[in-house]
Amino acid sequence: MHGRHLSSVLVRVGSTQLLIDCGEATQFQLSASRYKPGKLSTILISHLHGDHWYGLPGLLASLSLAGRTRRLQIVGPDELEGVLRRIPGLKEDELAYPIDFISTNSSDSLNLKKGIRISWAALDHGVPCVGYRIEEPGGEGNLDVDKARSFGVVDFQDYQRLKDGQSVENKLGQEISPSEVISPGKPGRVFAYVSDTRPCENGIMLGRNAQLLMHEATFMEDMRSRAEATGHSTALDAARVAKQARAARLLLTHFSARYEDAEIVALEAQTVFPNTSAAVELAPEAVEELAERI
């Protein structure tokens, strides 16, 4: 509606590609983007309202028809696996690739390769629904060799031990710890996805210190009663969450069809949290293209 499709966000961390939610027509939007669906490693589903997952069966079937054999991870509610497996063509012996289902009901985090961590927490939507936080590993600090030498550490093997996080002894038998000679590492980026929900504490927790918080803003403030009744947020709600979470940027999404121009929703949020923008389809967003609304 108004040129906007249903919920789906592609997140790229290095060479790892993740998909959060999969509304109808997601696979067509993917084909129009720069990214290849076959490279997806993990799909995260927030809840089982149709606008967040009805595109998943078609995407899974298309991946199989395209010859995918690599294992795929799907994170979502308990019921998701059973629902998908009952669809013709998606049974375990019908797909060309295996799927690992991870339940958001029985765990709260998942560690991927390359140090990427995904965590989730329950939101307030009236049905089981979770928000997601994706964290990339931070960069390692640098060893200050001159400083190490000033502390009497001259053995190159000791330098390596310090880099590996081990303390060493200097020539005088004194213990030198890594924190004394290695600079703090660069923190990894954080992307948080909070949709669908009323404003809640878990939304703040998920967005804590995130470089980018993507939060739903289904309504503007004059529709507050409607937002509360349907388990959604207003633009000001999202802005307050971002402010309390100390996020660097707020990206609004999940706009009601009544708003032809999402920019007016963003303008309302900017009165509380200035660094706010409205998500644009197929446009790279966030820190160094961390996320793309598709």
Active-site positions? 51
Q: How many CB atoms are closer than 10 A to CB 109?
A: 13
Phi, psi torsion values for 190, nearest 5 degrees: -130, 130
Residue 143: which of 180, 175, 115 has the closest Cα? 180
CA distance 190 to 110: 15
Q: What is the spatial distance between Cα 2 and Cα 262, in angstroms, rounded to a whole number?
A: 9
Contact 22, 43 (CB under 8 A): yes
Q: Length of the chain, please?
A: 294
Name every residue whose Cβ is closer than 8 Å to that of residue 45 and which is 6 or more positions away in sequence.
21, 22, 52, 53, 56, 74, 75, 76, 77, 80
Q: How far are the Cα atoms of 62, 64, 201, 281 from residue 57, in angstroms, in the given order?
A: 9, 11, 32, 22
Task: In whole angstroms, give the CA distance from residue 294 to residue 279.
Answer: 10
- Please tell me the distance from the alpha carbon of residue 207 to that of residue 244, in angstroms, as a whole number: 9
Only one residue has tokens 């795929």, namely: 72
Quote the CA–CA distance of 250 and 254 in Å, as a whole number: 13
